[in-house]
Amino acid sequence: MSGSPRQARWLPLALLLAASHALAAEPFAWPGGTRAAVSLAYDDALPSQLDHAIPALDRHGLKGSFYLTLASDTLRTRRQEWVEAARRGHELGNHSLFHQCSSSLPDRTWVPPHRDLDTTTVAQMADQVRLANVMLAALDGRSDRTMTVPCGDTRARDGDYVAAVAADFVGIKLGQGGVVADMAALDAAAVPVDVPVDVTGAQLIARVEEAARQGTMVSFTFHGIGGDYLAVSNEAHDALLKHLAAHPDIYWVAPFVDIMRHVATKRGANATTP
């Protein structure tokens, strides 16, 4: 044997470390051998989502997740359009009844007093979120549900209300980030989101390409599409959809609930593998 006895003793450890590194670098297994999952989500039940986003998704054969604030005008005036979207495979998600946010944070003068999270208790928020799930089930007949936390604010008057309802959901979008760095470390109750505003199609495409390089997932949360507020242009949105539809071998584009079910299944399989 070449080398010193000291080198020989260290060789197995070196091999173990190399094997551990290779295991850690192994990409997450997405359906069909794709390299990344992409969640296309839309908050607040805005008219432009019905007018522009859903027709664009349907045109490209893609499915999105629409997080409905149940008190939004479109639930009263265009309810059947949301029902039809669900029938075509789009996800209807929970964005609470009244979109409570904290008025005490910067730039929150728009928060009305009767919808101020700072003055709402955990129990009140839990009741409202669970009622929103019941109302969503009346629209789409489904039981598994995901949520996007309004404004990303979790602190009610007397504690963290998201912790009180987390068990009711397959996954919850919460926090900033967009591209997940490490699927093994992902918290299903705090999946980071990218909130694009006034961006180009090239910028959106760069985000999904980053997810593909990392072998993880990217979770978009759009608001207005070609209108309303926090808007992305129809052109930028369509450029992203066109890119995703052209590369089904690279990107698995699915409703967020399906992505999180898959993540849970893979984690369960890994946990039981000897």
- Consecutive H or E run containing 209: helix 201-214
Residue 17 has pLDDT above 80, yes or no: no
Query: DSSP state, 145?
Result: -
CATH class of 30-272: alpha beta
Q: Among candidates 240, 183, 260, 233, which has minimal Cα distance to 40? A: 240
- pLDDT at residue 198, rounded to an integer: 97
Q: What is the DSSP-derived secondary structure letter of residue 144?
A: -
251-260 pLDDT, tens digit each: 999 999 999 9
Q: In a 3-state reduction of DSSP, which class is residue 112?
A: coil
Residue 19 has what pLDDT? 43
Return the percentage of the chain with pLDDT > 90, whole number.
Answer: 85
pLDDT class of 181 with cuts at 50, 70, 90:
very high
Band (268; pLDDT cuts 50, 70, 90): confident
pLDDT band at 270 (very low <50, low <70, confident <90, very high): low
Question: Is the CB of residue 149 less than 8 Å from the CB of residue 169?
Answer: no
Of residues 220 and 177, more confidence is placed in: 220
Could you give the CA distance from residue 146 to residue 90 in angstroms, rounded to a whole number?
A: 13
The CA-CA-CA angle for residues 51, 72, 221, to 5°, reads: 65
pLDDT at 66 over 60: yes
Residue with structure tokens 């904290």? 102
pTM score above 0.85: yes
Residue with tokens 């979109």: 99
What's the rounded Cα separation, in Å, for the pair 188 and 171? 5
Query: What is the per-residue pLDDT for 5?
Result: 43
> Rounded to whole angstroms, how far apart are CA atoms 176 and 195?
8
Q: Where do the H-state alpha helices sit in 141-200?
A: 161-165
DSSP state, residue 98: S
Q: Does 240 score more than 80 pLDDT?
A: yes
Handedness of CA 75, 76, 78, 83 (dihedral sign): positive
Per-residue confidence (pLDDT) for residue 20, from 0 to 100 = 43
Q: How confident is residue 27, by pLDDT bands cut at 50, 70 and 90?
A: confident
Spatial separation of the C-alpha atoms in residues 260 and 30, rounded to whole Å: 11
Give the confidence band of 12 by pLDDT, cuts at 50, 70, 90.
Answer: low
Lowest-pLDDT range, 15-19, 108-112, 221-225?
Answer: 15-19
Q: What is the mean pLDDT of residues 109-124?
A: 97
Q: 176 pLDDT band (50/70/90 cuts)? A: confident
State yes or no: pLDDT of 9 exceeds 50: no
pLDDT at residue 272, rounded to an integer: 52
